[in-house]
Amino acid sequence: MTMNNEEIKWLESYKEEVSGYYAPLFDGSGIDFKDWDKLLQRFADAVDNVLSGGRQLFSAAYEAHNELCIADAIISNPNPKFIALEYEPPLIDCAQSIDFRAIAEDESAVYVDVKTIKPSPKDRWDQFERAIKERWFPENIEVMMSKEWLGGELWHSKFTARSRMLKYTLELEQKINDSTFTEDNYIFALALCCDGFSWHHDELEDFVHYYYSGSYRFDDPLADVQSRYMDEKGLAFRQTISRFVYVQRSWWDVQHKRINWNVQPPTLPDFKI
């Protein structure tokens, strides 16, 4: 898709602003940050691809930008304080790499895989009607959408977000299973990035609840959908991921707006009589 001059000017300014913010931040971080220039170059190359290939390629730039945000968050994390950071280190005995490996002052390691979940706009009202007809939802839950108020698009975003959470979780678990780790103390974190509109923090809370407990929340609208899919495919979690991270950044923001390094299931209010 050919871009107009205004779009080209914005992209060039966007690239300059983001690179101008993160380059001195990484260079002067005070920690041993290997390959930070490689991380920044990935973002720059992604923007250049948009300039040459069209706006339909912007998702790669958005994803690379989110990785910059995670690196920033790791560097600035107060507790634990990290002394070293690697970008895309290879995993031992595994053909794949992981996005980040951070070493804390006590020599413990944190491995972080970063994934962006931003479903493309798509009207799937037909699928939502099928879900109602075939009773995809728990009996105690009524999911209400309005076709005239982007109901098909909203349904597609929520359904796709949940399926990506499942996909990326299984992929990271497979990496962990296939790899050997030399540190005495290490954890694995899956950072899931969003724009704050396509899906929300509470949706990841629902997913995390099932991941660690093996049971679905009573108010999880996608419980039956996920359960049926996992049963049909013979899927099961190994529960080897230590933390799920929620990251929110709108596409125009230079820094992340919100980050929760340890998403937990929501707690019910304590009613006392």
This prediction's pTM: 0.90
Q: Which candidate, 195, 134, 192, 130, places its Cα nearest to that of 163? A: 192
Residue 57: partners with Cβ closer than 8 Å, 6 or more residues away: 46, 49, 50
**Amino acid at position 137, single letter:** F
Burial class (CB in 10 A: 0-12, 13-18, 19+), 258: exposed
Alpha-carbon distance of 273 to 266, in angstroms, equals 22
Alpha-carbon distance of 184 to 14, in angstroms, equals 42
∠ CA 67-262-175, nearest 5°, is 60
Q: Give the DSSP per-residue string, 90-127.
A: BPBTSS-B-SEEEEETTS-EEEEEEEE--PPP---HHH
- Give the pLDDT means over successive 10-residue stretches in the chain (273 positions): 86 96 95 94 96 91 97 94 95 90 94 93 70 68 65 71 95 94 88 92 94 88 87 94 97 94 82 62
Residue 64: half-sphere exposure toward Cβ, Cα within 13 Å: 24
For the chain, helix (H) and strand (E) counts, in that order, are 7, 7
Report CA Rg, the chain: 20
Residue 222 has what pLDDT?
85
∠ CA 31-19-248, nearest 5°, is 80
Residue 131 has what pLDDT?
63
Asked if 57 contacts 67 with a C-beta cutoff of 8 angstroms, the reply is: no
Alpha-carbon distance of 147 to 153, in angstroms, equals 9
Asked if 172 contacts 238 with a C-beta cutoff of 8 angstroms, the reply is: no
Residue 141 has what pLDDT?
63
DSSP 8-state code for residue 147: G
